[in-house]
Structure 1
Amino acid sequence: MKKININDIYQFKSKHKKFAAITAYDATFANLFFSHGIKVILIGDSLGMTVQGHCSTIPVKMEDMIYHTKCVRRGAPYCFLIADLPFMSYFNVKDALKNASKLMQSGANMVKLEGGDKILEIVHQLNINSIPVCGHIGLTPQSINMYGSYKIQGKKKSEIKRLINEATLLEKSGVKLLVLECIVQNLSKVITEKLKIPTIGIGSGSSTDGQILVMHDILGITCGKIPSFAKNFLLNNSGIPEAIELYVQEVENKHFPHAQHSFN
């Protein structure tokens, strides 16, 4: 069986084929997801909330990300894996190189960083040292304490200009993929069409090249309220395999996200 690589993801964009991604944190679920159509898995620092029970992603440590990346790689040897660099693990170029290399050695194909112009030099240095980077703009959970709450991005003219500029600069700095989180759908469409690199949306409308959701939201097992942009695919399905297959089908056939899962 062929391993999924970055070229496959770029072909999805060039052929206008949507793709579904999901978070995973252990070998069992990673194996199940790949077996039922998932090609891209994010080992997200969302594990701080979904697995560890914290109120945010801030407490997650490098040791946690290394452990869970190894687990997921063992379960999904053919998947394309993206691993989050956790809060303050890429404070400077030296730390970013050290910590990103640990995730790559643990089985990741790519590392993900949150932020815009402040991380451009870090992205560049990772890129020239053969560490592929996935950017992440819009709602950035590691910055929650700066904003106080999780808010929709891209409604104000200043935000629109900033987000388009961030996306463009990140691409120029060497980012290979870009996550757009909770960005109004018209703006995410503009960004996706402007960039040559693939975009992956979460709560950012249907125009992005790929979609990603947290596995707990897809399966309806999130503690508390499921985000409005998510959908419980296990509801009315007989089991987890069927739920994952439905998620993949709806993304690939452009049936998800619906209007109610997006923001204007």
Structure 2
Amino acid sequence: MRPITVNTLARRKEAGEPITCLTAYDAAFAGLLDRCGVDVILVGDSLGMVVQGHATTLPVTLEDMVYHVAGVARGSTQALIMADIPFLGDVDPATALAQAGALLRAGAHMVKIECGAIEVPVVERLVAAGIPVCAHLGLTPQAVHRFGGHRVQGRDPRAAAEMESLAARLEDVGAQALLLEGIPESLADAIVRSAGVPVIGIGASPRCDGQVLVLSDVLGLTPEPPRFARDFLADGGSLEGAVKAYCEAVRTRAFPQSGVHTFR
């Protein structure tokens, strides 16, 4: 098998073949995901909650991210590795460029940025430097305190229109993928229809070009999992079986289910 690249993801969208994505934070789980055929491994700042035990992602530093990206890169040979730029790492283009460079040097192939309008020039600068960017819209966990918690975004018609416009602007400046989290299914569908780049969902829509979950949710390790999660270990019976069951469910569009793992 050839390694997955951003071009692979674009071809998958064009062909209507769903993209699979899961988080991993170390070499052992990265190797497991690789063997099971996961397309994209996200080294998310969710490690702050999953690995470090924090209540939010905000304490995660660039040094933390680089350490975990390097471990994942040593364990994976096939998947595209996407890494989060941590809290305040995108306050300006220069800072984002330095942080993205550190993540790519550690082994990432793409960076993910939680985006509002202020991040548009940041994405444009990274793309100009040759760095693939996935723009994260909707429920962006680094803004948890501004949202007043992990709340669904884009339900208000004005907010929905602004998100659609922002998605188009980010694609125009070169974002090579979008990630939609915690938004109404109808809004996700509208963005998917208009986007020319792959759209990955989590708590968004079954019609997204791909799906992502946090690995601990897939393995049933989260005491109070979010609504959009599903325990695949119960289906698969083993770690490998759970990951393969997740990939099969995404590729056959059996997961997520409309109205069960999505929001109105």
Quickly name the TM-score band, shorter chain normalised: over 0.9
Name segments (4+ residues, structure 1) moved above 6 Å.
none
Normalised by the length of structure 2, the TM-score is 0.98
Equivalent position of 1:248 in the other structure: 247
Report the secondary structure of 1:261's partner residue.
coil
Report the secondary structure of 2:170's partner residue.
helix
Equivalent position of 2:204 in the other structure: 204
Q: Measure, in 2, the Cα distance between the counterparts of 1:238 and 1:110.
A: 32
Instruction: Give per-residue Cα distances to partners, 1:116-161, cap 9 Å, x unaligned.
Output: 2101111111001111111000000000111211111221111111
> Is contact 2:188–2:205 with CA below 8 Å preserved after alignment?
yes
Equivalent position of 1:217 in the other structure: 217
Instruction: Give per-residue Cα distances to partners, 1:182-230, cap 9 Å, x unaligned.
Output: 11111101101101010000000201100000000000002x3011100
Equivalent position of 2:226 in the other structure: 227
> Is contact 2:139–2:182 with CA below 8 Å preserved after alignment?
yes
Equivalent position of 2:18 in the other structure: 18
Unaligned runs of 5+ in 2: none
Q: Measure, in 2, the Cα distance between the counterparts of 1:195 and 1:76.
A: 29
Q: Measure, in 1, the Cα distance between the counterparts of 2:167 and 2:96.
A: 20
Unaligned runs of 5+ in 1: none
Q: Measure, in 2, the Cα distance between the counterparts of 1:243 and 1:69.
A: 23
Query: Partner amino acid for 2:253?
Result: K
**Cα-Cα RMSD:** 0.8
Quote how far apart the aligned CAs of 1:34 are.
Answer: 1.0
Normalised by the length of structure 1, the TM-score is 0.98
For residues 98-109 of structure 1, what are the structure 2 equivalents within 5 Å?
A: 98-109=98-109
For residues 170-181 of structure 1, what are the structure 2 equivalents within 5 Å?
A: 170-181=170-181
Query: Partner amino acid for 2:227?
Result: S
> Is contact 1:116–1:167 with CA below 8 Å preserved after alignment?
no
Report the secondary structure of 2:20's partner residue.
strand
Query: Partner amino acid for 1:231?
Result: R
Quote how far apart the aligned CAs of 1:62 are.
Answer: 0.2
> Is contact 2:117–2:166 with CA below 8 Å preserved after alignment?
yes
> Is contact 1:116–1:170 with CA below 8 Å preserved after alignment?
no
Q: Measure, in 2, the Cα distance between the counterparts of 1:169 and 1:126.
A: 15
The alignment of Structure 1 onto Structure 2 pairs a total of residues equal to 263
* Identical amino acids, percent of aligned pairs: 39
Report the secondary structure of 1:113's partner residue.
strand
Report the secondary structure of 2:134's partner residue.
strand
> Is contact 2:236–2:244 with CA below 8 Å preserved after alignment?
no
Equivalent position of 1:258 in the other structure: 257
Q: Measure, in 2, the Cα distance between the counterparts of 1:124 and 1:236.
A: 42
For residues 71-90 of structure 1, what are the structure 2 equivalents within 5 Å?
A: 71-90=71-90
